[in-house]
Amino acid sequence: MSMLRGAEAYKMRWRPREMVNQRLLLARSGSLRALVYTTGVRTRRRAVQAVKTRMPWLRDVRAAGRRLVTRLTPGRP
């Protein structure tokens, strides 16, 4: 398991292996909870992919909102 997040140049000197994250759900077959959970995960993944491909400008809006919240939050530099 590698905890290196991102592909910054200084991390590459350790020659990390790129891995794909996977989920393993341990549940009884036919479990309603497992069905609801997996449906939610798949729906969220598809929604994120759709937004990334169809609305790339939304990333800039999100970044601007985060910058605004950071400026308005007391106690932050």
CA distance 10 to 54: 34
- pLDDT at position 25: 85
pLDDT of 34-59, one tens digit each? Answer: 999 999 999 999 999 999 999 999 99
- pLDDT at position 19: 76
Is the full-model pTM beyond 0.75? no
User: With helix as H, strand as E and coil as C, how does the chain read?
Assistant: CCCCCCCCHHHHHHCCCCCCCCCCCCCCCCCHHHHHHHHHHHHHHHHHHHHHHHCCHHHHHHHHHHHHHHHHCCCCC
Residue from 24, 18, 22 nearest 5 by CA: 18
Percent above pLDDT 70 for the chain: 91
Q: What is the mean pLDDT of the chain?
A: 85
